[in-house]
Amino acid sequence: MEKLLFPFVSIVGQEDMKRALMLNMVDPGIGGALIKGEKGTAKSTTVRSLAKVLPYRNTVEGCVFNCDPSRPDRLCPYCAEKLARGEQLKSAMVQMRVVELPLSATEDRVAGTLDIEHVLKTGEKKFEPGVLAQANGNLLYVDEVNLLDDHIVDLLLDSAAMGVNYIEREGVSFSHPSRFILVGTMNPEEGELRPQLLDRFGLSVDVKGDKDMEMRMEVVRRRVAFDADPTKYTQECQADTDAMRERITKARELLPKVATDDSIIKAIVTITTSFGIDGHRADITMMKAAKANAALDGRTDVNKDDIRAVAALVLSHRMRRRPFEEAAFDYEELERCLQSI
């Protein structure tokens, strides 16, 4: 029996977290999201609840690596071989999934292993796919990402950077596409994240518990109602859930049509320069996020509000900071930058 999860659309507040996740669903190229925050603020609940609002996507039927038939340059060896033989790749629409990487995962299960016996017996390559294969085209969720073993983190980083999982062992090499939306949640009290991994996340959010009484009451009331009768509660939210998925799907279709003009590019560069951000990743990510934000609103032109909505998500984990200093995002500075253009 499938365990019912608290519905995404019923989560109170936490707008930044929801926005960061939705932007990634619209454009997986944004590079995932890191959700930091104090304990018990519905971080994991929110990420898991995405399962119901994730959009449908095209995939090769029966392919364990979830290949995308519309991208012949990103096929797994099996699909590529089929295509080379002149066979048609049968496509199917499936809903994106939330693939979870448990903390206790070992590297053979993350990267996958080559079934050597099968190779020897049949002369055919057979690969026992791991989590990175399941994650292809899906959302990969790591809870307590800061507690993950370093060598597992390395595997994730490699795949996230290349979009391909390379397995090199004992003279046999294999590779398959592994593009995923990486979502991590963590409580910074338990330890910080390695800088390499931190930079890999496109967006980051700091989550706090709401101290506003009304909001808090609502949070608690909904949770209690859900726990009392999950089936009924989920049904009541069904229409909203479907609408949310529809909105994301529409935004994905709209995204290629979203255009930016020079003023937006200038605004982005002004902001990243003024915040003293090194490298171009922030600029590119902010552009993508702003476009996705416009698409979510059903617009094809990016405006300053889009930048306002995404700037903190893009920049807060990229700002240089001195040790022992709590980094707070300077909204006034952002406003100054936007006004200056």
Partner 1 sequence: MPSVDLRSFPFSAVLDMDDAKRAMECMLVNPNLRTVMIRGGQGSAKTVLARSVGLISGKKIINVPVNVSEEQLFGGMDIDATIKQGKAVMQPGLLSRADGNIVYVDDVNLMDQRILMTLLNCVLDGRVVLEREGVSAEYSVDTMLIATMNPNDSDVSSHVLDRFDLCAYSTFPEEEDKRAEILRRNAEFQKDPESFTRLYKDEEDALLNNIERAKKLLPLVTMSDDLMGVSVELAVKVFADGYRGDIAMINTAKALAALNGRDEVMKKDVEEAAMLCLAHRRNYAQEPPPQPPEPPEPDEDDQDEDPPDEDDQDDQQDQDPPEDQEPPEDQDQEDQQESPPDMDFQQLLDDMVFEIGEQFRVVDYLNDGVRKVSKTSAKKGRRMMVESSDSSGRYARSRIPDDKTHDIAFDATIRAAAPYQKGREHTSLTINIQKQDVREKVREMRAGCTILFLVDASGSLGVRKRMTAVKGAVLSMLRDSYVKRDRIGMMAFRRDSAELVLPPTRSVEYSYRKLEEMPTGGKTPLADALVTVNDYMTSYSRSHVGEMCYIVIITDGRANVPLSEGANPNDEVLKLAEDMAIPQVKWIVIDASSGFIRFDNAERLAQALEATYFRLEDLNADRLAESVRAVIQ
- Binding positions for partner 1, rule: CB under 8 A: 1, 3, 38-42, 100-110, 113, 116-117, 120-121, 128, 130-131, 143-144, 147, 149, 151, 169-170, 187-192, 209, 211, 213, 216-217, 219-221, 223-224, 227-228, 324, 326
Nearer to partner 1, 146 or 285 (CB): 146
- Cα distances from 116 to residues 32, 124, 128, 173, in angstroms, run 34, 9, 10, 11
Give whichever of 3 and 85 is closer to partner 1, judged by the CB atom. 3
Task: Enter the tokens of residue 34.
Answer: 């890191």
**110 Cβ neighbours under 8 A, 6+ residues apart:** 101, 130, 131, 132, 152, 155, 156
Compute the least distance from the CB of residue 244 to partner 1, in Å.
22
Question: CA angle, corner 254, sides to 250 and 255, nearest 5?
Answer: 120
- Cα–Cα distance between 240 and 297 in angstroms, integer? 16
Alpha helices, DSSP H only, in the chain?
A: 15-26, 43-49, 77-84, 107-111, 116-122, 131-135, 150-162, 195-200, 213-228, 230-236, 238-254, 262-274, 281-296, 304-315, 331-339
CB 276 within 8 A of CB 46: no
How far, in Å, CA of 206 to CA of 26, rounded?
21
> What whole-number distance in Å separates Cα of residue 44 and Cα of residue 35?
9
Residues in the chain: 341
Catalytic-role residue among 281, 308, 320, 321 = 281
Least distance CB 311 / partner 1 (angstroms): 24
Least distance in angstroms from the C-beta of 53 to partner 1: 20
Shortest distance (Å) from residue 274 CB to partner 1: 26
Q: 80 or 198: whose CB is closer to partner 1? A: 198
> Between 64 and 80, whose beta carbon lies closer to partner 1?
64
Nearest CB to partner 1, comparing residues 149 and 199: 149
**Nearest approach, Cβ of residue 276 and partner 1 (Å):** 21
CB of 316 to partner 1, least distance (A): 15
Tokens representing 199 are 């930079």
Report the candidate in 101, 268, 112, 109 with the shortest Cα–Cα distance to residue 197. Answer: 101
- Please indicate whether residue 281 is annotated as part of the active site: yes
Mention every residue, 6+ apart, whose C-beta is less than 8 A from residue 7: 49, 52, 226, 233, 234, 237, 240, 241
Task: Considering the complex, state which of residue 170 and residue 332 has its C-beta at the smaller distance from partner 1.
Answer: 170
Catalytic residues: 281
